[in-house]
Amino acid sequence: MSAEVVAEKMRGEAVVGLTLEMTAYIEGRAAARETMAYQWMPAEVWARIRHRGRNSLGLPDAHGIPDLVPVARMRPGAVGRHNPRNAILANPVHDAHGEISALTVIDTNHPSLFDHALDHVPGMLQFEAARQIAMAAANASLGLDTNRMVMHQLEIAFEDFGEFELETIARAVAEPDPKEDGAVIAVIRITQGDKAIASGRVHLRVMPVDIWTMVQ
């Protein structure tokens, strides 16, 4: 993997944020690229922002981890996964307008989606919820085989903190990509209550027919 700083965010003479362009290579070939903008702040400023945001939702300063409750998890194959633990959507609903929505399961013991302690729903979990709800929408709305689909591109903007104590719902409307036969564009939102905490678009492509698509 490689990472290159392509922009800096300054406050006075201090660097407080970076924009990175990153590439993952497999056997010398670029397999994935990501551009990410982020910034940091003193711990006391972070705490003040988090407390103010949580209090506005009627939540205490300190976050809590709700117990996992019984849910109807979606089948791994319906959301482009093999391992049942990696299927993180549950209780799906398909409304009259073609939107698919599903509860995002917050399992803080998951070894990769929660690889360190956090006080909010992490971006990595929201990335995966966006990918999976796009897959579910392509399956339910367009009848496509998600066993042969891959996420080709993801654009997402994080608009607010996701709180552990609130239900996190992934939503998507999928349409065929008018520029590419067999591809899908899904408009996604991750919501808590009436508020979107993230939104964006997922572009899915169908892998060519190959015997290896049948191997788990």
pLDDT at 193: 95
- Domain membership of residue 104 (yes or no) is yes
pLDDT at 208: 78
- Domain membership of residue 125 (yes or no) is yes
pLDDT at 215: 66
For 19, 62, 92, 139, the CA distances from 190, given in Å and listed in that order, are 24, 23, 14, 19
pLDDT at 96: 86
The domain total for the chain is: 1
Residue 152 belongs to what domain range?
Answer: 66-214
Contact 128, 110 (CB under 8 A): no
| pTM, rounded to two decimals | 0.90
- Domain membership of residue 96 (yes or no) is yes
- Domain membership of residue 5 (yes or no) is no
pLDDT digits (tens, 9 = 90+) for 115-167: 888 999 999 999 999 999 999 999 999 988 888 889 999 999 999 999 999 99
* Backbone φ/ψ region at 12: left (φ over 0), alpha (ψ -120 to 50), beta: left
- Domain membership of residue 32 (yes or no) is no
CATH number at residue 82: 3.10.129.10
Which regions in the chain score pLDDT beneath 50? none
Which pair of tokens denotes residue 94? 């398909």
Round to whole Å and give the CA distance between 171 and 67.
23
